[in-house]
Structures are given as C-alpha cells and as structure tokens.
Amino acid sequence: MRTRIVDALTAVEEVKDGDTVLVGGFGMAGMPVELIDALIEHGAGDLTIVSNNAGNGDTGLAALLAAGRVRKMVCSFPRQSDSWVFDGLYRAGKIELELVPQGNLAERMRAAGAGIGAFYCPTGVGTPIAEGRETRVIDGREYVLEYPIRGDVALIRAHVADRLGNLVYRKTARNFGPVMATAATITIAQVSKIVEVGELDPETVVTPSIYVNRLVEVA
C-alpha cells in the first residue's frame, strides 16, 4: 500500500508497548537517529530491540535504553568501548540479551521477509550459541536450525528515496537497512532527501517501495 511521507513523530505513532522494533545501522553508519529520538518522545515501552549493537554513547539507541523502554536486546555485539548504558543495565539485570551471530541476525530477518519458515545454518555449530538448538547433518556437514526474526516495526536510514518509497543507500551505511525493510510489518525509513518519482534509476534501487510504509526526510 502507498508509502506515506510524514514527520518523525507521526511515523512512529503506531509503535505499541511490547513491540519488536528492528533498528538499522552498524555502529552509527545507517543508524536512524531521528526516528529513535521520535520513538523516545512517543513513549512506547517494554520493547524488544533487534539491532547489531546495543547503543553507543548517550544518544540514539543508548538514549532509548537509558529511558528504560527496552525489555530485551537481540544483537550480535553489545559490548563496545562506548556501550556504557547497555553495560550498566545488563550488569544490573535490568535488560535481557539474546546474542545472535551477526550473519544469523541478518539471515533470520531475511528469512522473515522472504517467507522462509526456518533454515539450517552452519554458523555456531559446536559453540555455546548452538546449545539447546536442533541440529542436523546434511551432506556430511552439521547445521543448526534457525528461525525467522520478525519486527512489528523497522526503523532504518537510507540515503535518497523517491516519493513512492524506493530507496538507495550510501556506502556501508546500507548494512541492515534493506534486510530489515523486508522483515517488519511497518517499515519506516529516514532519508536525507526525497525526490520525485522517476528520478531514481530503476536499475539502482536497493529497497523497492513495496517494503517501505513511511518516509521521513531529515536533511
């Protein structure tokens, strides 16, 4: 259905307490900072956040965590030099952590977006990550069964959108955006610029408009 062009606060108005929110970005590259700020202002809590990292410094995702809105983090690399907000919450037992290898995080969201029920993945075999999970040997190699990660909402950052919602990204800020856009019921994209329909080359569109429900221009 048609992509709506709105302001950040309107864009996040449908987020509900208890939602699973996919948050793009790898470190700060591709992090939808203004959408996260709007989510904080919006006030939804008891959230499960799926993102590669667990916040840097005191802004963005870290601020959402500091505001006590997050029940659980699903991520591959929470521990960083400037992840003091998460570190404190974790050590105080105030936040759950599901640690997922980075590729599994991406592939499990990809599966959600692609209608795949589950998949056998070689990553993590023989490690604590695989403990308690179903495994199977296929063609002589051992795999772990992995399930999709779906979002109620995805907050992503792209570079340029057209008014239909087609997206292009910029350099390694592309990272999780295109995958998360497919895996959420409502995908909200923050972009630097919105152009007219027809201004993007159809060969270069990375996220087709079908995956984008709300567009927010943040110049």
Partner 1 sequence: MALDKNELAQLVAGDIPDGAYVNLGIGQPTSIARYLSPESGVILHTENGMLGMGEVVPAERADWDLTNAGKQPVTELPGAAYFHHADSFSMMRGGHLDVCVMGAFQVSAGGDLANWHTGAADAIPAVGGAMDLAAGAKQVWVMMTLFTKSGEPKLVPACTYPLTGKACVTRVYTEVATFHITPEGVRVTATYGIGIEELATRLDMPLLA
Cβ 175 to partner 1 shortest distance, Å: 5
Q: Contact letters (x/-) for partner 1, 19-48, by CB under 8 A?
A: -------xxxxx------------------
CA 63 from centroid of its chain's CA atoms: 16
Nearer to a copy of itself, 67 or 206 (CB): 206
Q: Which of residues 103-122 bind partner 1 (CB under 8 A)?
A: 103-107, 109-110, 112-116, 121-122
Place of tokens 């987020």: 15
Beta bridge partners of 47: 70
Cβ 159 to a copy of itself shortest distance, Å: 9
Beta bridge partners of 99: 75
Size of the site for partner 1 (CB under 8 A): 68
DSSP 57: T
Does residue 79 interact with partner 1 by CB under 8 A? yes
The answer for residues whose C-beta is within 8 angstroms of residue 147's C-beta and 6 or more apart is: 108, 111, 117, 118
Cβ 43 to partner 1 shortest distance, Å: 28
Burial group, residue 201, by CB count within 10 angstroms (0-12, 13-18, 19+): exposed
HSE, side-chain direction, 13 A CA sphere, residue 53: 21
Cβ 119 to partner 1 shortest distance, Å: 11
Q: Which does 97 bind (CB under 5 to 8 A by kind): partner 1, a copy of itself, none?
A: partner 1
Nearer to a copy of itself, 26 or 86 (CB): 26
